């Protein structure tokens, strides 16, 4: 960094030890030869306000925000991008002339990764989302704003699916319905894009799948946010059924790539970031 002042970025979470973002982001900064650095900070929830004030005081360019701070951090920001407002959570802060602005790149990162990897046309998709937590909300908002044909949300706790569907319906033109898990046999045949946002199938429960394999059909693109393992049981059964598949690693990479672009104003080397994340997952 020979005399040039380092421009600091980082991650606020609790815990942060397992984050792949520092390696991904620092490799990207290095590739572009720009004097940025990304560090992970474990911030206790009681100290979140102080940590956010620290971004301003220390002149950080911005940070990512992760669990458990994505919703509570909003109280400490000066402004919110519209998508972050609709999602109700922030995963990226940009420090602009003393002002802290909250963004959410999770949903857009997901959509960008999906489009790059599957080449589907969103306007033709009847989307079925499994789960109604934070990740589902980010993805559902971004897909609805991207103009998908229709959306169904199902969840173990039906009230949460109903609340999410109602909230998206209120703010976008996309037709959204909440259905119960017992409706899956009726809904999957009419769906073209199935997205698992639940943790079902995540290591160490690799033998679980959120959807009975016999429901999967060839016209379905199947996307699983779980990336540990990289090929979940759901994705394996989907591949065997002739479906196009999409793994959750792409969302992780592209939410980071979009944050990188907000901080630097430069296109992120997303392929390099993907390679780094993939390497970290497969070498541990």
Helical pair 270-282 and 249-264, crossing angle rounded to 10 deg:
140
In the residue annotation, 236 being an active-site residue is answered as no
| CA pair distance 238, 215, nearest whole angstrom | 10
- Counting Cβ atoms within 10 Å, is residue 186 exposed (0-12), middle (13-18) or buried (19+)? exposed
DSSP reduced 3-state for 39: strand
CB of 119 to ligand ATR, least distance (A): 26
Task: Choose between 135 and 222: whose C-beta lies nearer to ligand ATR.
Answer: 135
CB of 97 to ligand ATR, least distance (A): 32
State the residue number with the nearest CB to ligand ATR.
133
Which residue reads 């421009």 in tokens? 7
Alpha-carbon dihedral 226, 229, 233, 239, rounded to 10 degrees? 90
CB of 138 to ligand ATR, least distance (A): 8
User: What are the start-end ranges of the E strands in the chain?
Assistant: 7-13, 36-42, 62-65, 79-80, 92-96, 99-103, 126-130, 150-154, 175-179, 193-196, 221-224, 244-247
| CA pair distance 256, 283, nearest whole angstrom | 21
Residues forming contacts to ligand ATR in the complex (CB under 6 A) are 131-136, 155-157, 160, 197-200
Q: Out of 70, 119, 233, 276, which one is annotated catalytic?
A: 70
CB of 132 to ligand ATR, least distance (A): 5
Whether the CB-CB separation of 180 and 157 falls below 8 Å is answered with no
CB of 106 to ligand ATR, least distance (A): 9
Which residue reads 């392929």 in tokens? 271
As a whole number of angstroms, the longest Cα–Cα distance in the chain is 64
| Active site residues per annotation | 70
């Amino acid at each position: 960094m020979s005399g040039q002042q380092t421009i600091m970025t980082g991650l606020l979470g609790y815990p942060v030890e397992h984050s792949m973002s520092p390696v991904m982001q620092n490799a990207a900064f290095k590739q572009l030869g720009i004097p940025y650095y990304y560090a992970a900070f474990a911030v206790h929830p009681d100290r979140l306000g102080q940590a956010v004030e620290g971004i301003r005081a220390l002149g950080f360019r911005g940070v990512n925000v992760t669990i458990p701070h994505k919703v509570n951090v909003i109280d400490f920001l000066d402004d919110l991008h519209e998508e972050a407002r609709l999602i109700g959570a922030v995963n990226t802060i940009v420090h602009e002339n003393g002002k802290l602005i909250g963004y959410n790149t999770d949903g857009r990162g997901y959509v960008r990764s999906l489009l790059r990897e599957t080449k589907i046309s969103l306007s033709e998709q009847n989307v079925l989302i499994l789960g109604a937590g934070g990740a589902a909300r980010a993805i559902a908002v971004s897909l609805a704003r991207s103009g998908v044909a229709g959306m169904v949300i199902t969840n173990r706790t039906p009230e949460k699916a109903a609340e999410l569907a109602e909230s998206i319906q209120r703010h976008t033109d996309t037709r959204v319905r909440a259905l119960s898990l017992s409706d899956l046999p009726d809904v999957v045949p009419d769906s073209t894009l199935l997205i698992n946002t639940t943790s079902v199938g995540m290591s160490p429960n690799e033998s679980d799948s959120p959807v009975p394999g016999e429901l999967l059909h060839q016209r379905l693109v199947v996307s699983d946010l779980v990336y540990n393992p990289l090929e979940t049981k759901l994705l394996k059964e989907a591949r065997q059924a002739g479906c196009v598949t999409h793994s959750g690693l792409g969302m992780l990479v592209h939410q980071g790539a979009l944050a990188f672009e907000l901080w630097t104003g430069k296109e992120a080397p997303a392929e390099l970031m993907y390679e780094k994340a993939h390497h970290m997952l497969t070498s541990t």
